[in-house]
Structure 1
Amino acid sequence: MKYVPYYRVSTAGQGKSGLGLAAQQEIVKRFLKADDEVLTEFIEVESGKRADRPQLAAAMALAKQHKARLLIAKLDRLSRNVSFIFSLRNAEVDFVACDIPDANTLTVGIMAVLAQHERELIGQRTRAALAAKKAQGYKLGMPNITPAVTQRGLEVRQHNARTNQANRQAAELIRLYRLEGLTYQAIAQQLNRMGYRTRRGKEFFATSVQRLDPSTPTKAWGETDVIRTDLA
């Protein structure tokens, strides 16, 4: 059987959930049989709430091209967004979740609808609670915002505007790999294998990875902008 592994890592809850990149990869490794063929793996660094998941779309395209199955470690890595469940069904791409191998697009679709409904209810309750506080005279928002804080916020927004999605994903992957103890050279090899390239279309080296490392005090983003090459 051919498989295309897909991993999604939430930037905020990755540590708390216990579903970090290494954990998901270990689950997939235990699931695979000796005669299974593993194609390119895809890693998404996004919240499960976001509708735009280019890595998932690329993984689905590759799976369809090679008549392979999309492989995910745990069902909730995929089932939190209704639109993607429907796109998975419409693309006629089969998938398997290591924790619930018998799940299908119907059962996952039901779970996604219920999860989305629960999020909507939570949002309604939150808005109602804030409205009640405001009616009672409480001041909402962020007080004591100094000019220095405002300027810093502007600089951050400008920095983010100059940084495309591939930059952010590559930087987050570097952070995760560093937490797992990988060297810059090993991370460079991993990024190159996954199809990431620098702005000039060159392969990554240890020095270019270090410049994108979020823990590095000063990062020259303009020198190492990255793109994801077409793997389809």
Structure 2
Amino acid sequence: MEETKYVAYLRVSTQKQGYSGLGLEAQKEIIHNYLHDTIPISEYVEVESGRKSDRPKLKEALSQCRKEGATLIVAKLDRLARSVSFLSSLLESDVDIVFCDFPQANKMVLHIISAISQYEAELTAARTKAALQAKKARGFKLGNPEHLLDKHEKAIQNSIKTCKARADNNPNNRRAIALLRTLVKEEHTYQEMAEILNREGFVSSQGCSFTKSTVYKLIKRYNLLEDYG
């Protein structure tokens, strides 16, 4: 039988791609773990906000799927769309789609999930609007332009610090670093280090297998090469 070909579609928002829990690297790792030894023939990255429906990279990915007879693969369902109408029209297309977090989902299940997601998003927006109106009615001034930019930048910096602290304190990272110190001293390659970590049962901070990319990031983050430079 001919091996299934895949086209990967990854989506991030402009504000969150640098520090979100499901950034580009995490999506790539989820797809890599799902496909094992199979490598997507192409990879399309969409950078945009979550509510827009004009996704040029998705259209390009679907077009290549049709030309190559390939399947579109997405890390998680919510990376693709939360709009019922958009997802419904997509699922009615002639391209097969697989979601790594829900590979057994059929079209009916996906319609239900997207409907619930959209309802939750609309409910959250309505609650936020009502809360802001109530606050304004009590005399609070909303959206002071003199402080919004500073607060936004501080929020980003605090989020980055929190993510770094969480990574530093992660027990999986701590165990891996202990072994990596020895492997670096023994001058193993990144690929060899990843294979050793996986063989010994180590997992990354997200519970995934190690790749040479994740090994490189840990070594760079903790300056392990400088210890033996």
Is TM > 0.5 for Structure 1 vs Structure 2?
yes
**Is the alpha carbon distance of 1:128 and 1:55 closer, same or farther for their aligned partners in structure 2, counting shifts above 3 Å?**
same
Query: What are the within-5 Å matches in structure 2 for residues 52-131 of structure 1?
Result: 52-131=54-133
Moved over 3 A (4+): 14-17
Q: 1:12 to 1:105 in 2, by over 3 A?
A: farther
Contact 1:4–1:40, Cα closer than 8 Å, also in 2: yes
TM-score (norm 1): 0.55
Structure of higher CA gyration radius: 2
Conserved 8 A contact 1:60-1:88? no
Q: Does 1:30 pair with 2:29?
A: no
In structure 1, the partner of 2:48 is: 46
SS in 1 for 2:130: helix
* Cα distance, 1:45–1:38 mapped onto 2, change above 3 Å: same
Partner of 2:169: none
TM score, norm. by length of structure 2 = 0.56
Report the aligned-residue RMSD. Answer: 2.4
Amino acid aligned to 1:123: A
Percent of counterpart pairs with the same letter?
A: 50
**Matched residue count:** 145
2: CA distance between counterparts of 1:24 and 1:37? 14
User: CA distance change for structure 1 residues 94 and 54 in 2, over 3 Å: closer, same or farther?
Assistant: same
Q: Please list every run of 5 or more consecutive structure 2 residues that lacks an aligned counterpart in the other structure.
A: 150-229
CA apart distance, 1:79:
4.0
Distance 2:58 2:84 in 1: 14
Bigger helix share: 2
* Unaligned ranges ≥5, structure 1: 150-232
TM alignment of 1:1-232, pairs within 5 A:
1-34=4-37, 36=38, 38-142=40-144, 144=146
